[in-house]
């Protein structure tokens, strides 16, 4: 009797075993690759990076739909994808009333990448997808943070040493607060794998990464990222059914990273600007050795916790530990009250410090971590509210905040974003857009509550919540790699409800979805070609290679006929070539397509004379009255 007739599963051949292993590796390797690549490309801030990511994700999703039979999405998975599609559709629809078509299209392209990521994740995820998805996300974060930390501990060997620039770690994300929140997300995920991974190797590797991530977070000097990490840990302990065991593991794993952070904070060469390369290299090598020892110790602690978890903990000991935790919290609260005064006094002090201006000429960046100043964010939030108030239902259109801010600002501070995802969404997309955004962000939290008994879901929800808190006070959404890392944590919560016996998606829905993915990838390819040409033109202009800048600008115009950006780049290249007549024609086309683009009018000032120049100065002044570049031309405006 053969195996089939006996009801037994025949053994897999070597080829089948290899293919099965490769299929299981697609999700974690894909997550690690796209997260690591975007984070390492200035956090995915620029259009070319998110265009490449969208293209790759759409094709991976299409191939997964064609070559395999993915599970039929559950109700909560459909709700998550559907809400995200509606939000992205609203971003694109806002082009109908936006004052900045170019930027609105960029916002639409970036948000499309998120839809592609969720769609690809749903298509690739099979049985038990939470661990591989979170593991891949963590791996991508560790690669980016490990490189960032290496530039600080191995200066001159890794990266570029700049003692004059602000001495806050930001490479390769390009923004210290963005790197800080990424490190915080990774720290929460590493904690989860250190305590809950089934494989011994996974626990050890995660524990090795934990001090690296926390030391990276420290060197960003990002106050908001520390606050977000604390908020994430609160969510973790509130959501985790095994919170006592998690709290005990946290208490066991915290001392080693705390030690290396403390020792790093005592290094003057690593915490102060204007340090010499020799001093920074000496202290960096010393801390690197300490970090290595601490990481090995952390791995040993994680393995010790795993061994201890095999033994039953007496009920009395559990109660004793719980009482100790309560006593520690009450003691800390009592100490805070004794030192700072009543809760009302503490709240008044926090409000005063938050509204105070930031300290000037900070040399020791350790002092920055404990400063509560909002760094001018309140003024940015007020402008966002005023833009929202002008069109509360629809908003000003995706990507319009910067233009509204420059026209209505009261200081010379130059920013592009409101430093609050929720206020900026209200300003640009109105109440309708904010409702859609809240729906998208809330669904993973609802899924986390429902599936909180999964070993890793509380940690995924904690990391995701840390991002949501940080996004309230910064511009994380514009860093596609940062947002993607958080979104994958949310997707893991949503996917935790997949059952082993879930039915496969039918052939017709698979074909429709694959066709949509291919169609969107074609549109994305056109956007990629245009964005690449525009970026190449700008790079050539920065080098002073005006011929190349002109050539790339003409290519950008072909692929982006709806945008003023290509015509603007062409006009600037022609100015560089001293072709003022050509520049006036090109910039005039740009102004016709985008009459509220103040930079185009600044360029027209340099390309024009007489009344045309006066008109350009007047238009630029109305769009951005506090722009320092206008100062030399204000006399022209007065004379006109």
Over residues 498-519, the pLDDT tens digits come to 866 677 888 888 999 999 999 9
Annotate 18-27 with b (16+ C-beta within 10 A) or e (fewer).
eeeeeeeebb
What pLDDT was estimated at residue 62?
93
Distance of CA 208 to the CA centre of its chain: 23
Other beta carbons within 10 Å of 327:
10
Give residue 271's pLDDT: 87
For 242, the 3-state DSSP assignment is: coil
pLDDT band at 6 (very low <50, low <70, confident <90, very high): very low
CATH 1.10.287.3510 assigned to domain 544-639? The reply is: no
Residue 46: pLDDT above 90? yes
| Residues in a beta bridge with 364 | 272
* Sign for the pseudo-dihedral over CA of 344, 345, 350, 354: positive
Residues 560-579: what's their mean pLDDT?
A: 94
364 secondary structure, DSSP code = B
pLDDT grade for 628, boundaries at 50, 70 and 90: confident
- Give the Cα separation of 637 and 423 in Å (integer): 36
Can you tell me the distance from the alpha carbon of 553 to that of 335, in angstroms, rounded to the nearest whole number?
63
As a whole-number percent, the residues of the chain with pLDDT over 90 amount to 67
Place of tokens 């947002």: 483
Whether 349 shows a pLDDT value over 70: the answer reads: no
Q: What secondary structure, in 3-state letters, does 458-509 show?
A: HHHHHHHHHHHHHHCCCCHHHCHHHHHHHHHHHHHHHHCCCCCCCCECCHHH
- Give the residue from 80, 76, 78, 83 showing the smallest Cα distance to 436: 83
- Tell me what the mean pLDDT of segment 280-307 comes to: 93
pLDDT classification of 1: cutoffs 50, 70, 90: very low
pLDDT at 369: 75
**Residues 162/166/168/170 CA torsion (nearest 10 deg):** -70
Confidence of residue 18 (pLDDT cuts 50, 70, 90): very low
User: Under DSSP, is residue 71 helix (H, G, I), strand (E, B) or coil?
Assistant: strand
Please give the average per-residue pLDDT across 125-129, as a whole number. Answer: 85
- Report the chain's C-alpha Rg in angstroms: 27
pLDDT at residue 350, as a whole number = 60
Distance CA 232, CA 460 (A): 10
* pLDDT the model gives residue 119: 94
- Predicted confidence at residue 224, as pLDDT, reads 93
Q: Is the pLDDT of residue 318 over 70?
A: no
C-beta separation of 23 from 63 below 8 A: no
Q: Quote the CA–CA distance of 336 and 315 in Å, as a whole number.
A: 32
- 403-443 confidence digits (pLDDT tens): 999 998 888 788 889 999 999 999 999 999 999 999 999 99
Q: Please state the rounded mean pLDDT for residues 81-91.
A: 97
pLDDT at 144: 96
Q: What is the pLDDT of residue 385?
A: 94
Q: Which pLDDT band, with edges at 50, 70 and 90, does 69 fall under?
A: confident
- Do residues 585 and 576 touch, judged by C-beta distance below 8 A? no
Cα separation, 169 vs 192, whole angstroms: 25
Cα distances from 223 to residues 214, 229, 469, in angstroms, run: 13, 10, 12
Give residue 410's pLDDT.
Answer: 82
Mean pLDDT to the nearest integer, 339-354: 63
**pLDDT digits over 135-165, tens only?**
999 999 999 999 999 999 998 888 777 665 5
Q: Name the pLDDT band for 12 (thresholds 50, 70, 90).
A: very low
Closest CA to 482 of 174, 125, 59, 81: 174
CA atoms within 13 A on the CB side of 383: 24
- Selected residue with higher pLDDT from 616 and 348: 616
Query: What residues does CATH 1.25.40.10 cover in the chain?
Result: 544-639
CA dihedral 117, 119, 123, 125 (to 10 degrees): 50
pTM of the model: 0.91
CB atoms within 10 A of CB 425: 28
CA 636 to chain centre: 44
The answer to whether residue 361 scores a pLDDT higher than 80 is no
* Closest residue by Cα to residue 424 from 446, 451, 403: 403
| Closest C-alpha among 67, 36, 64, 59 to residue 122 | 64
pLDDT for residue 345 is more than 90: no
Q: CA 110, 116, 118: angle at the middle one, nearest 5?
A: 115
Tokens for 507? 């052939």
Q: 160-185: per-residue pLDDT in tens?
A: 776 655 578 999 999 999 999 999 99
Rounded Cα–Cα distance for residues 550 and 547 (Å) = 5
Q: In angstroms, rounded to a whole number, what is the distance separating the alpha carbons of residues 258 and 237?
A: 20
State the pLDDT at residue 16: 43
What is the model's pLDDT at position 2? 47
pLDDT computed for residue 432 by the predictor: 96
Q: What pLDDT band is residue 339 in, cutting at 50, 70 and 90?
A: low
- 342 — pLDDT class (breaks 50, 70, 90): low
User: Which pLDDT belongs to residue 7?
Assistant: 47
Q: In this prediction, what percent of the chain has a pLDDT beyond 70?
A: 86
Q: Is 253 within 8 Å of 213 (Cβ atoms)?
A: no
| 93 — pLDDT class (breaks 50, 70, 90) | very high
Distance of alpha carbon 130 from its chain centroid, rounded?
A: 20
- 14 or 31: which carries more pLDDT confidence? 31
Angle formed by the axes of helices 101-124 and 75-93, to 10°?
170
228-252 residues labelled b (16+ CB within 10 A) or e (exposed): bbebbbebbbebbeebbbbbbbbeb
DSSP label of 452: T
pLDDT at residue 312 greater than cutoff 70: no
Chain segment 250-264, per-residue pLDDT in tens: 999 999 999 999 999
Position 9 pLDDT exceeds 50: no
């Amino acid at each position: 009797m053969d195996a089939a007739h006996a009801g037994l599963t025949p053994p897999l051949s070597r080829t089948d075993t290899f293919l099965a292993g490769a299929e299981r590796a697609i999700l974690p390797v894909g997550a690690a690759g796209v997260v690591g690549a975007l984070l390492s490309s200035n956090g995915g801030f620029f259009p070319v990076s998110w265009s490449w990511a969208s293209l790759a994700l759409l094709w991976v999703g299409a191939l997964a739909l064609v070559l395999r039979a993915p599970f039929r999405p559950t109700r909560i998975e459909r709700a998550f994808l559907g809400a995200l599609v509606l939000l992205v559709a609203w971003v694109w629809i806002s082009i109908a009333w936006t004052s900045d078509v170019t930027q609105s299209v960029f916002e639409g392209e970036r948000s499309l990448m998120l839809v592609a990521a969720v769609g690809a994740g749903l298509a690739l995820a099979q049985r038990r997808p939470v661990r591989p998805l979170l593991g891949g996300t963590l791996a991508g974060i560790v690669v980016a943070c490990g490189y960032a930390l290496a530039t600080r501990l191995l200066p001159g060997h890794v990266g570029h040493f700049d003692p004059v620039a602000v001495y806050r770690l930001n490479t390769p994300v390009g923004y210290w607060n963005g790197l800080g929140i990424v490190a915080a997300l990774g720290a929460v995920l590493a904690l989860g794998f250190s305590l809950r991974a089934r494989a011994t190797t996974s626990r050890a590797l995660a524990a090795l990464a934990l001090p690296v991530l926390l030391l990276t977070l420290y060197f960003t000097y990002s106050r908001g990222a520390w606050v977000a990490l604390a908020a994430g840990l609160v969510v973790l302990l509130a959501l985790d059914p095994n919170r006592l065991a998690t709290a005990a593991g946290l208490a066991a794993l915290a001392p080693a990273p705390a030690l290396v952070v403390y020792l790093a904070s005592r290094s003057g060469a690593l915490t102060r600007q204007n340090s010499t390369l020799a001093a920074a290299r000496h202290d960096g090598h010393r801390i690197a050795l300490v970090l290595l020892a601490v990481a090995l110790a952390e791995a040993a602690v994680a393995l010790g916790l795993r061994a201890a978890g095999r033994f039953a903990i007496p009920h009395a000991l559990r109660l004793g530990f719980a009482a100790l935790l309560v006593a520690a919290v009450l003691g800390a609260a009592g100490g805070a009250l004794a030192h700072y005064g009543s809760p009302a006094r503490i709240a008044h002090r926090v409000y005063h410090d938050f509204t105070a201006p930031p300290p000037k000429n900070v040399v020791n960046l350790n002092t920055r971590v404990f400063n509560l100043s909002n760094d001018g964010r309140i003024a940015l939030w007020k402008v966002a509210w005023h833009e929202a108030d002008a069109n509360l239902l629809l908003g000003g259109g995706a990507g319009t905040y910067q233009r509204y801010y420059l026209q209505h600002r009261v200081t010379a501070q130059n920013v592009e974003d409101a430093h609050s995802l929720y206020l900026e969404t209200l300003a640009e997309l109105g109440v309708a857009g904010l409702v859609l955004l809240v729906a998208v962000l809330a669904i993973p939290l609802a899924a986390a509550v429902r599936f909180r008994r999964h070993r890793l879901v509380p940690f995924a929800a904690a990391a995701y919540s840390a991002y949501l808190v940080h996004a309230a006070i910064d511009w994380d959404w514009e860093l596609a790699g940062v947002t993607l890392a958080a979104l994958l944590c949310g997707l893991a919560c949503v996917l935790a409800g997949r059952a082993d016996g879930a039915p496969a998606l039918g052939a017709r829905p698979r074909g429709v979805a694959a066709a949509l993915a291919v169609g969107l990838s074609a549109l994305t390819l056109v956007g990629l070609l245009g964005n690449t040409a525009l970026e190449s033109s700008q790079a050539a202009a920065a080098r002073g290679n005006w011929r190349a800048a002109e050539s790339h600008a003409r290519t950008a115009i072909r692929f982006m006929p709806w945008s003023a950006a290509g015509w603007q780049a062409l006009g600037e290249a022609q100015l560089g070539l001293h072709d003022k007549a050509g520049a006036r024609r090109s910039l005039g086309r740009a102004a016709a397509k985008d009459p509220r683009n103040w930079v185009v009018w600044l360029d027209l000032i340099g390309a024009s004379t007489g009344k045309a120049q006066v008109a350009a100065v007047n238009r630029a002044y109305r769009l951005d009255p506090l722009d320092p570049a206008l100062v030399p031309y204000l006399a022209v405006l007065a004379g006109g």
